[in-house]
Copies of this chain bind each other. A is one copy, B any other.
C-alpha cells in the first residue's frame, strides 16, 4: 500500500522522466469501451490480448483533498481497512486468493482518488469482481480493526515522513506551496488527526464514498467488453446506488506573490540538496494548454541527461552531481513543477542554486528552440507508446485521466495535445509560472550547515 503524494509522485517522475510520464498521461490509439451500470458504476474496458492476464482496477472518486478539515488521512486509512474482514469474508481472503493464482494486488491513495487493483489470470476476473464488490459495501468497521490499523498507519507515517529528513521537508514544501487548497495537506494525514479519527467518522466516510455511483472500474488486458459487462452485472450490479454526491469543488489557491524557502538541517544529511517548486494549472482545466507546455518545458529543462540543467550544471560547469526537473500533471486542480540540484562541493551550494535559477530565467528571456521542442515531443511520445505495452500502466492511465477531470476521449488525445505545443508557448509558461517570487525553495542541509542562500 503506498501513497502517491505530490512530492513522492514528483520524485518518481524525476527519477525516470520519459517512461514515467506515460503513466501520468495516456498513450494514443488505445481501444476503449465505456458503459455505466444501472447503479451508477462507470466501467472502461481496454482489451489487449498479448498475455492471458487481466488487470482489474477499481477507482473511488475520493482522495486526500476531499477530506473534511481535521480528518486528514481518512481516505488513506481506508486503503488499509479495505483489506480487513467483511461481513462475508475473513481478513486476508483476497490476498490468499490472488496469491493462489500467482497474481498480485495492492492499493494506493492520491490527493484525488483511491484505487484498488488485482492483476490475475483472465479466468479469475469474476472472482476479483466478487471480492471488490463485497468490500465496497460489507466492510466490518469495528473498534479492534480500527485501532490495529491506526497503529499501522501511524507507523507508516513515522517511517515515511517523520523519521525521514526528505519526508519532513517534502511535507513542509507541500503545505507551504498550497496554503489554501487541500493539496497542502499530506495524504497520509497529520499525526494528530490520524490519532483522532473516530469510528463514526470512518463509518460516515465509507457510507458516503464507497458506493458504485462513486466508483470507476477499469479492466485492461485479455478480456472482451461483453465478458466484463456480464461479470460486472453479476457482482457489482447487485449493489445499491448510494446517495448522489455534490460536485467536488475545492478551495482555490491564491496567486502567490512571495518567495518562500524551507530549510531543514538534519544530522542524517551528509550532502546538501536544493529544490524549487511551483504550482501550475491542471491538465483538464481551462488553462490545460499551459499544463502541456509546462510538461515539455520540464523535460527540456531537466527531464534527462540531454536536458539543459544536466548539461549545464553536471557536464559543462561540473558543479553539480545531479540536476533536473519534473512535473506532475496527474492532479485534478493543479499541476506541480519542480527543479532540483545537488552540488558536488557542499561549499558551492549557492553557486548551484544561482545556476539553476539562471537556466530558468534564460528560457523565460530567450525561449527554447524548435529543435528542442521537436526532440522532446518525440521522447515523450515514445515513452507513451512504450507505456502501452503494460496493461497495468494502461489501466492506471485510463483511471487517472478519468479521476482528474478527463474523459475517455482525453485518454487518446494526449499525443495531439503535445503536438500543439509550440516553442512560444513554452517561453510564455516559463514567464507566467516559473518566477522565483511565486516559488517555494527547499534546502536539505547537514546539521550545522550555514544559511543556504
Report A's interface with B, CB cutoff 8 A.
69-70, 72, 168-169, 172, 175-176, 179-180, 182, 184-185, 190-193, 249-252, 254, 256-265, 437, 451-453
Complexed CA–CA distance, A451 and B168 (Å): 24
Question: What's the minimum C-beta distance from A184 to chain B, rounded to whole angstroms?
Answer: 6
**A192 (CB) vs chain B CBs: closest residue:** B252
Complexed CA–CA distance, A264 and B256 (Å): 11
Most buried by B among A172, A193, A249: A172
Residues of B contacting A251 in the complex (Cβ-Cβ under 8 angstroms): 69-70, 193
Most buried by B among A168, A250, A259, A437: A259
Tell me if B261 and A257 are in contact (CB < 8 A). Answer: no
**A453 (CB) vs chain B CBs: closest residue:** B451
Tell me if A261 and B260 are in contact (CB < 8 A). Answer: yes
Q: Which of B250, B261, B437 contacts A261 (CB 8 A)?
A: B261
Question: What's the minimum C-beta distance from A185 to chain B, rounded to whole angstroms?
Answer: 7
Complexed CA–CA distance, A390 and B263 (Å): 46
Interchain residue pairs with CB less than 8 A apart (21): A69-B182, A69-B250, A69-B251, A70-B249, A70-B250, A72-B180, A168-B258, A172-B256, A176-B260, A191-B254, A192-B252, A192-B254, A258-B262, A258-B263, A259-B263, A260-B260, A260-B261, A260-B263, A451-B453, A452-B453, A453-B453
Complexed CA–CA distance, A434 and B182 (Å): 28
Tell me if B180 and A185 are in contact (CB < 8 A). Answer: yes
Not counting A69-B182, A193-B252, A261-B261, a sample of 20 additional A-B residue pairs whose C-beta atoms are within 8 angstroms of each other reads A69-B69, A69-B250, A70-B249, A168-B257, A168-B258, A169-B258, A175-B180, A176-B176, A179-B179, A179-B184, A192-B252, A258-B263, A258-B264, A259-B262, A260-B261, A260-B263, A261-B262, A264-B437, A451-B453, A453-B453
Residues of B contacting A69 in the complex (Cβ-Cβ under 8 angstroms): 69, 182, 250-251
Complexed CA–CA distance, A453 and B260 (Å): 13
Tell me if B190 and A180 are in contact (CB < 8 A). Answer: yes
Question: What's the minimum C-beta distance from A71 to chain B, rounded to whole angstroms?
Answer: 9
Complexed CA–CA distance, A191 and B251 (Å): 12
Question: What's the minimum C-beta distance from A289 to chain B, rounded to whole angstroms?
Answer: 21
**A190 (CB) vs chain B CBs: closest residue:** B254
Question: What's the minimum C-beta distance from A269 to chain B, rounded to whole angstroms?
Answer: 13
Complexed CA–CA distance, A256 and B263 (Å): 12
Residues of B contacting A249 in the complex (Cβ-Cβ under 8 angstroms): 70
Tell me if B264 and A263 are in contact (CB < 8 A). Answer: no
Residues of B contacting A256 in the complex (Cβ-Cβ under 8 angstroms): 172
10 nearest CB pairs, A to B: A172-B258, A175-B179, A261-B261, A451-B453, A259-B263, A70-B251, A190-B254, A258-B264, A192-B252, A453-B453
